[in-house]
Chains A and B, each alone.
Chain A
Amino acid sequence: METNHQLKRADFIFKNENDWEEVLKKNISRSSNELINELISSELKGRGGAGFPTGLKWKLSAEVDSDTKYVICNADEGEPGTFKDREILSLVPFKVLTAMAICGLVVGAKEGYIYLRGEYFFLKPELNKAISEFEQYCKEINLDFTIRIFMGSGAYICGEETALFESMEGKRGEPRNKPPYPALSGYMNKPTVINNVETLAHAYTIFTYGAKRFYDLGVQYSRGTKLFSVSGDTPKPGIYELELGMSLADFVNDFGDGDSKAVQVGGASGFLVPRKRFAETTIGYQGKLVGISLPTGGSMMLFNSSRSMFNVLDNYLEFFREESCGQCTPCRVGCQQLLKGIKAVKSGEKSTQYLDKLLTLAETMQFTAKCGLGQSVANSFSSIVENFREEMIY
């Protein structure tokens, strides 16, 4: 995989929202096929979950025959320390609304929902105002599309798309079995396109400037830019829009405090990369390390040498143990076992070989858990235990 050997700041997402009316008007005169092909050729991948190609997602939903379809914007943003979606919705909401409406047109959906994280309740009045204005304009241009806000319940798992549907249907937020996938059977068992806030904002960029402009950014398999929430031991925490394909070494050069020993890429569900592998690690979808899944992707947490990696892992496992919906065995019990297990090794109750049993357990969780939460616990667990085994023991 090719790598951008310098960090490229970009500024698409938070700029130029003012022309949304034009963008909408221009695009609704285009055919569904044309729009889908534009999106496909941009190679935009989902910014909230597993990096599924967005154009293909829309296409699959468009091909299903159904009277009722839905477009849902996933604004549940539950990953600790991540608030990029919040920034998008408060600074450039019309980009998201416009992309939703275009999506509706493409797939044949007349209703859109924004599933807003419970803690973002304060955004609701402003967002509702934007929605009214937006719907008014839709009427003017004879576009039949409405958007409603659905407030989330505060559980992290409700950001998982099928748990989100369950929660919207008034049920307990438990992920469903897949297949069927949302494109075929989602909210109310109707074909549903669900996209992350940021994905929709990028779609807006593509429908504004054309696919090529987006495609030309980034590297093979990882086109365009992405918002990163930088936190931890860094002198400049915050949200940054960067071109994909950067090397982690460059990233650390720019954002580190000179003493970075590891970076957690992708939050609790992501991977820990130790210093010795900064240079070989590329941040993008097909990167060796990043690429299986990056739920609510974009969290970059830096750790310097004062940090105990045991504590870091302990925190992540605590998080998973509590935030697991609890329905499936590998995740519900597995998280408890991993957490108790590392503590037992640390205290000497279990031998150090027990870590190897836990590594195989984490692997079983990855193979057998029902949803992305349980499947991705192994990412941080294995990468931390394998790279900082000493710190787990002593």
Chain B
Amino acid sequence: MGKNIKITINGEIVEINEGTSILDAARQVGVIIPTLCYHKDLCVAGNCRVCVVEIAGQKRLSPSCATPCEEGMDIFTNSVKVRNSRKHIIELLLSEHNADCTRCYKNGKCELQKLASDFKIMSNDFIPLVPFKNYTIDMFSPSIIKDDSKCIRCQRCVRTCAELQGVNALTVAYKGDKMKITTFFEKAMNDVVCTNCGQCVIHCPTGALVERNYIEEVWAAITDKAKHVIVQTAPAVRVALGEELGFESGTRITGKMVAALKRLGFDAVMDTDFTADLTIMEEGTELLSRLKRALVDHDPGVKLPMATSCSPGWIKYIEHIYPDYLGHLSTCKSPQQMFGALAKTYYAQARNLQPDNIVSVSIMPCTAKKFEANRPEMNDSGYRDVDYVLTTRELAIMIKQAGIDFMKLEDIHFDRLMGESTGAGVIFGATGGVMEAALRTAYELVTGREVPFKDLNILPVRGMEGVREASILIENPLKEWAFLDGVELKCAVAHGLVNAKKVMDSIISGEANYHFIEIMACPGGCLGGGGQPIPTSPEIRAKRAAAIYAEDEGMPIRKSHLNPEVLKIYKDFLIKPLGEKSHLLLHTKYTIRKSF
């Protein structure tokens, strides 16, 4: 970047890169300026005005998030004028706000509440505006609750949905005192083009957008002696849950998490990683069969590239935006739904349980999975395959409610049958992980050799670049795969739906020519999911990703097709990938939806 300049912050001379915002410059020297509308993932809006600072010689204050440093600036972040103004602004926000903190889901986790507490806003001189407002609570979505009375109009959600997801489900409507955040035609969240990804939820500073929680329902099931409550945990949960319970981001707490779930009273604690490995078997086989149909049978009906289908936010997005391209989706259910279908069939049989006595709960980094579990077709077991989906945050709430001292827990291993995983299953939690896991298995199935990458780490598909491409040349395959000899398998990985759109548009225009694409709705993949601990930022996601890859490296088995429980389920139950039972339980169909 530009040249270095000198500025003064609270009397201290600071050397800083030209163009740095005052906010960042201050942070670099340990001066914290409060913010509300600012978020590292988003473009700067500068609308809340709590971050204002005084610049010597200027009558007006400047928003530090939106003001670049200039040579010689003499900045005060805590002058009388700044303090008074900041207090006024917080008071104003509170006067327009239904500050019912003790009954608010965000109580204790709210940026507005924290500011009010830091600044000790004890008075309520201003006239409460809430009674004059026509606030509504939208509870129609199975994933997200939107409560306008808790909204401070920072537009973080609007920017998130537009900039990270390109969905634009949320928008600003009206002006002046009536200005609010709403949807197309002010319809309910379940009735608009919304992917339920929950990115708006993790970017919202207040209780205006929160996940729909099912904590009480799960407690009720656990308490019901007649019910056998089984829980699965997604790969990304284990590298993030710790953040809610006092650990640094990027701390792996898998064993403690299992121990906590046991203490909560779940009858069996199992691992979505198991069905992630299973997904690789099914999806890998599906890919190879599509390639065969294309290259050997020259079947014009075969759809390539094949796209992954484990991110329900992505599924809903493509159903709305590219309904003509649903044939490109792998027919595999997400690991969560595979697990659900097996829980009430395979597991029930093996444990001799009545499926209708089983309550199947999943712990997910994701709010879209709540919607997914509610899709009408997700009952292939004959029952609701997954009964309740809790986010990482909801699990942390239950752990706290139960009085579990998480730090002191001893590690425990998942229960058997559907609790074994490999490193390949674990990396499903990071963008590029499904691709990497699939390549590790598919390449080996086809050639009989390991993927030609050091220590199985397929680095080109890792990282946080929005769209990444990789290709892998297939040479000397086994006899039955001879048709793949010399084929360069072209892959792309995208995370965040704006990037999904880029990949889709390049496929549609014919510009790109992939065989296999992995798409995750959330930035960073599931580790940055809408159900993960708040806050999120590029740094936090990078730490979680590092933890995921460390978990992978630490696993004795790192390839899905070697997971002993996967081998067992094929032997005892499913018989073979894409077999009859698989089709019934593990594969699904998609729904064409409106684009408005």
Which A residues form the contact surface with B (CB < 8 A)?
A: 155, 157, 172, 174, 177, 179, 320-330, 332-337, 340-341, 344, 350, 354, 357, 360-361, 364, 366-370, 375
Contact across chains for A333 and B179 when beta carbons are under 8 A apart: no
Flag B39-61 by CB within 8 Å of A: 1 or 0 each.
Answer: 00000111111101000000111
The 7 A-B residue pairs whose C-beta atoms are closest, nearest first, are A326-B179, A333-B92, A177-B66, A364-B88, A177-B46, A327-B47, A322-B176
Contact of B129 among A174, A320, A323, A336 (CB under 8 A): A336
Knowing A172-B172, A328-B49, the reply to whether A335 touches B177 (Cβ < 8 A) is yes
Contact of A337 among B85, B92, B153, B178 (CB under 8 A): B92
Chain B residues in 8 Å Cβ range of A340: 127, 129
Which B residues form the contact surface with A (CB < 8 A)?
A: 44-50, 52, 59-61, 63, 66-68, 81, 84-85, 88-89, 92-93, 95-96, 125-127, 129, 152-153, 155, 171-172, 174-179
Chain A residues in 8 Å Cβ range of B172: 172, 174, 326-327
- Shortest distance in angstroms between A353's beta carbon and chain B's nearest beta carbon? 10
Contact across chains for A333 and B93 when beta carbons are under 8 A apart: yes
- Shortest distance in angstroms between B90's beta carbon and chain A's nearest beta carbon? 9
Contact across chains for A327 and B176 when beta carbons are under 8 A apart: no
Chain B residues in 8 Å Cβ range of A354: 125
Contact of A332 among B52, B61, B63, B179 (CB under 8 A): B179
Knowing A172-B172, A321-B176, A368-B60, the reply to whether A344 touches B153 (Cβ < 8 A) is no
Contact across chains for B179 and A369 when beta carbons are under 8 A apart: no
Can you list 11 residue pairs at the A/B interface with Cβ under 8 Å? A155-B175, A177-B63, A177-B66, A322-B177, A324-B177, A329-B50, A330-B89, A330-B92, A364-B84, A367-B81, A368-B89
Chain A residues in 8 Å Cβ range of B89: 329-330, 364, 368
Q: A357 CA to B126 CA in the complex, in Å? A: 9
Contact across chains for B178 and A326 when beta carbons are under 8 A apart: yes
Knowing A364-B88, A368-B52, the reply to whether A333 touches B176 (Cβ < 8 A) is no
Q: A174 CA to B47 CA in the complex, in Å? A: 10
Interface of B is mostly: loop
Contact across chains for A321 and B63 when beta carbons are under 8 A apart: no
Contact across chains for B177 and A367 when beta carbons are under 8 A apart: no
Knowing A177-B66, A340-B129, A367-B59, the reply to whether A361 touches B88 (Cβ < 8 A) is yes
Contact of A327 among B67, B127, B179 (CB under 8 A): B179
Chain B residues in 8 Å Cβ range of A329: 47-50, 89, 92-93, 152-153
Interface of A is mostly: helix
Q: A155 CA to B173 CA in the complex, in Å? A: 13
Knowing A179-B68, A344-B127, the reply to whether A369 touches B95 (Cβ < 8 A) is no
Knowing A333-B129, A340-B129, the reply to whether A368 touches B49 (Cβ < 8 A) is yes
Chain B residues in 8 Å Cβ range of A334: 92
Chain A residues in 8 Å Cβ range of B177: 321-322, 324, 326, 332, 335-336
- Shortest distance in angstroms between A354's beta carbon and chain B's nearest beta carbon? 8
Q: A232 CA to B398 CA in the complex, in Å? A: 66
Contact across chains for A367 and B85 when beta carbons are under 8 A apart: yes
Contact across chains for A337 and B126 when beta carbons are under 8 A apart: yes
Contact across chains for A370 and B49 when beta carbons are under 8 A apart: yes
Contact across chains for B176 and A324 when beta carbons are under 8 A apart: yes
Q: A366 CA to B176 CA in the complex, in Å? A: 17
- Shortest distance in angstroms between A150's beta carbon and chain B's nearest beta carbon? 20
Contact across chains for A328 and B61 when beta carbons are under 8 A apart: no
Contact across chains for B88 and A370 when beta carbons are under 8 A apart: no
- Shortest distance in angstroms between A296's beta carbon and chain B's nearest beta carbon? 18
- Shortest distance in angstroms between B77's beta carbon and chain A's nearest beta carbon? 14
Chain A residues in 8 Å Cβ range of B47: 327-329, 370
Q: A228 CA to B68 CA in the complex, in Å? A: 38
- Shortest distance in angstroms between B38's beta carbon and chain A's nearest beta carbon? 12
Q: Find the A residue at minimum CB distance from B44.
A: A177
Chain B residues in 8 Å Cβ range of A172: 171-172
- Shortest distance in angstroms between B57's beta carbon and chain A's nearest beta carbon? 14
Q: A227 CA to B513 CA in the complex, in Å? A: 64
Contact of B85 among A326, A333, A368 (CB under 8 A): A368
Chain A residues in 8 Å Cβ range of B125: 354, 357
Chain A residues in 8 Å Cβ range of B176: 320-326, 332, 335
Q: A327 CA to B129 CA in the complex, in Å? A: 17
Q: A325 CA to B48 CA in the complex, in Å? A: 13
- Shortest distance in angstroms between B177's beta carbon and chain A's nearest beta carbon? 5
Chain B residues in 8 Å Cβ range of A375: 60
Q: Find the A residue at minimum CB distance from B174.
A: A326
Chain B residues in 8 Å Cβ range of A366: 60
- Shortest distance in angstroms between B15's beta carbon and chain A's nearest beta carbon? 21
Contact across chains for B175 and A326 when beta carbons are under 8 A apart: yes
Contact across chains for B96 and A333 when beta carbons are under 8 A apart: yes
Chain B residues in 8 Å Cβ range of A327: 45, 47, 153, 155, 172, 179
Q: A174 CA to B43 CA in the complex, in Å? A: 15
Q: A320 CA to B175 CA in the complex, in Å? A: 10
Q: A367 CA to B46 CA in the complex, in Å? A: 14
Chain A residues in 8 Å Cβ range of B155: 327
- Shortest distance in angstroms between B393's beta carbon and chain A's nearest beta carbon? 27
- Shortest distance in angstroms between A288's beta carbon and chain B's nearest beta carbon? 15
Chain B residues in 8 Å Cβ range of A344: 127
Q: A322 CA to B177 CA in the complex, in Å? A: 6
In this complex, which of B63, B85, B171, B172 has the most chain A Cβ atoms within 10 angstroms of its Cβ? B85
Contact across chains for A337 and B127 when beta carbons are under 8 A apart: yes
Chain A residues in 8 Å Cβ range of B67: 177, 179
Chain B residues in 8 Å Cβ range of A350: 127
- Shortest distance in angstroms between A273's beta carbon and chain B's nearest beta carbon? 21
Chain A residues in 8 Å Cβ range of B59: 367
Contact across chains for B84 and A360 when beta carbons are under 8 A apart: yes
Q: A336 CA to B127 CA in the complex, in Å? A: 9
- Shortest distance in angstroms between B35's beta carbon and chain A's nearest beta carbon? 12
Contact of A324 among B48, B61, B171, B175 (CB under 8 A): B175
- Shortest distance in angstroms between B130's beta carbon and chain A's nearest beta carbon? 11
Chain B residues in 8 Å Cβ range of A335: 176-177
Chain B residues in 8 Å Cβ range of A332: 96, 153, 176-177, 179
